[in-house]
Amino acid sequence: MRIGEMTACTGVTARLLRYYEEQELITPGRDRNGYRVYCPEGVRLIGQIRGLLAAGLPTRLIRDALPLLAGPQLTADAAFVARLRREAGAMQERIDDLAARRRAILEFAEVISSTTP
């Protein structure tokens, strides 16, 4: 299928599909005219990529995770597991930071609401 058909099947824009290709997440074939050609299995792959992105993984980790999802066994070496754990730790730091900011905003709202006539 060509890029227009893939966008229709996945809901992902052509620009985003080209970005996934640039990030080496997908590798479409090429026809004689040089147009991208996607296989039907690509629809499933795009779904996996979208799910991993929604989970907050960066494309550099997704690139390494996709072969694990395609294989018969879901196993990874210790280095990759450590990378995932570091990413989860970084996410937790961002969550903690956002929670602190949220508390500060609510405290400020409380202060200004009690001083408003």
pLDDT tens for each residue of the chain, 117 residues long: 999 999 999 999 999 999 999 999 999 999 999 999 999 999 999 999 999 999 999 999 999 999 888 877 777 789 999 999 999 999 999 999 999 999 999 999 999 987 656
Q: What is the tally of structural domains in the chain? A: 2
Among 56, 72, 88, which residue terminates a domain? 72
The DSSP-derived string for 38-98 is --THHHHHHHHHHHHHHTT--HHHHHHHHHHHHSSS----HHHHHHHHHHHHHHHHHHHHH
Please give the residue range of the domain that contains residue 27.
1-72
Q: Kindly state whether residues 85 and 103 are assigned to the same domain.
A: yes
- The dihedrals phi and psi of 37, each to the nearest 5 degrees, come to -130, 125
Supply the CATH number for residue 16's domain.
1.10.1660.10
Among 57, 72, 87, which residue terminates a domain? 72
pLDDT of 29 reads 94
pLDDT of 75 reads 76
